[in-house]
Amino acid sequence: MNRIGASVLLAVLLAAAAITVTGCGREEPVRTARGSVDVTKAKAIAEHAFVEATRGKVTRYSVGNGTPTNFGWEFLVRGEGEFERPGNHWIVRVDRRTGSTVVQVGE
């Protein structure tokens, strides 16, 4: 595994311990190790958080490019194919400093 792959894998593993899901009146905050997360790692973290939040039930989706915010990045995830319909999207926020995430379900 190359250095970039190992870094992304580490970021994904950290994200697994750092998922917050919002929607349906539920929010579960968690903490991660300190560090700095660039946009490439943040996208991998966002995708992992989305898969965890949907429990892998949404199998066709696209993750947009990250939009920078004051705290990190926001990624728009849209269902594709049989999962594509109005309101079937998620916003995943990734904290630049900690790698923690918030997954917001679209309506």
Whether this prediction's pTM lies above 0.75 is answered by no
- Per-residue pLDDT tens digits for 27-84: 333 344 445 899 999 999 999 999 999 999 999 999 999 999 999 999 999 999 999 9
CB atoms within 10 A of CB 42: 25
**For the chain, first and last CA: distance in Å?**
39
Amino acid at site 60: R
What residue segments make up the domains of the chain, in order of their start?
3-105
Domain 3-105 has CATH 3.30.70: no
Which residues make Cβ contacts (< 8 Å) with residue 76, sequence separation at least 6? 63, 64, 67, 89, 90, 91
